[in-house]
Amino acid sequence: MPAIHTQALVLRSVDFGESDRILHLLTPRTGRIAVMAKGARRSRRRFPGTLDFFNRLRVQLERRPRASLARLEHAALERVYDRLRTEPPRFALGCYLLELLDRLAPEGGAARDLRRLFDFALDALETLDRVAPDLRLRTLLELRALDAMGLRPELRACVRCAAPLDAAPAGFHVPDGGPLCAGCRRPGEPVLEVGLGTLRALERALALDLTRLDRLVLDRRALEEARLLVTRFQRFHIGLELRSERILDGIMGLPQGGPAPRPAGPRRAGPGVSAAD
């Protein structure tokens, strides 16, 4: 099979044996791909200073029939996202986004989707290099990451009957991935109470150019609701807590294991979750 020449980001890196390294790369040609980098541990000459996180690379890969791993033949540095290495909040959020991509990015797919996903990853690193992240930017980048991997929550209409939402707050049903109108909401069904304003703000976050995402304003209540919605939606699709999530939560001043529960109101069945009457 001919060699693949493409751009790449390192998502994960594991030492293998005395001298080799196994990497998970994200590329716009293949999606996520596992590669063997022969001699990457022993010889600094073979891949000098390139195979690190937060580097944009140009690589040459060989995919051989029946081999489980592709081979990384060559890697050249195109761009270093410097500030992600030296500032803890940028580093922690960068690591978290790479881990999210490593969990959910597809191995192969339609060319246009793979290009879009790779462009998202580059734009996200570019944004983190330029802007010091806060909880708002983290939440919006997570939403955009899920969207780039084909996991876009419904935000405009009832996810079951497509009726427009008029009552506030809406009940967001995490397994169905969208809000429910009053007619579709079954008694006792757990939903997140989310204001229509929050849903509209998240819709704007999905439509904005990623480099302008940091300008989107969320008030305190919208941020709390968005945080809960994105965290629960992400957790539902991944099924576990990412390793880098606790570190990031700690750096951002969140209690470990997710956003703070809101004060329990009379209709709440649990932290941040309410049951319909």
Which residue is listed with tokens 């879009």?
116
H or E element in which residue 95 lies: helix 88-104
Give, as one character, the DSSP assignment of residue 228. Answer: H
CB of 99 to Zn ion, least distance (A): 35
With CB under 5 A as the contact rule, the residue among 40, 181, 213, 230 that binds Zn ion is 181
CB of 161 to Zn ion, least distance (A): 3
* Alpha-carbon dihedral sign for residues 8, 14, 20, 22: negative
With CB under 5 A as the contact rule, the residue among 8, 100, 158, 194 that binds Zn ion is 158
Q: Which is nearer to Zn ion, 14 or 163 (CB)?
A: 163
Residue 211, number of CB atoms within 10 A of its CB: 13
The number of residues that bind Zn ion (CB under 5 A) is 6
Q: Which amino acid is at 55?
A: N
Q: 140 vs 45, 106, 189, 231, 254, CA distance in Å?
A: 40, 21, 27, 11, 16
Q: Which is nearer to Zn ion, 2 or 164 (CB)?
A: 164
Residue 124: CA count within 13 A, CB half-sphere? 30
Stretch that binds Zn ion, among 90-98, 152-160, 213-221, 237-245 (CB under 5 A): 152-160
CB of 274 to Zn ion, least distance (A): 17
Site string for Zn ion, 6-25 (x = CB under 5 A): --------------------
Stretch that binds Zn ion, among 86-94, 159-167, 205-213, 244-252 (CB under 5 A): 159-167
Q: Which is nearer to Zn ion, 181 or 248 (CB)?
A: 181
Residue 103, number of CB atoms within 10 A of its CB: 17
Residue 182 binds Zn ion, judged by CB under 5 A: no
135-148 helix and 220-238 helix, angle to the nearest 10 degrees: 40
Residue 159 binds Zn ion, judged by CB under 5 A: no
CB of 232 to Zn ion, least distance (A): 20
Residue 184 binds Zn ion, judged by CB under 5 A: yes
How would you classify residue 78: left for phi > 0, otherwise alpha for psi between -120 and 50, otherwise beta?
alpha
Q: Which spans of this chain sit near Zn ion (rule: CB under 5 A)?
A: 158, 160-161, 163, 181, 184
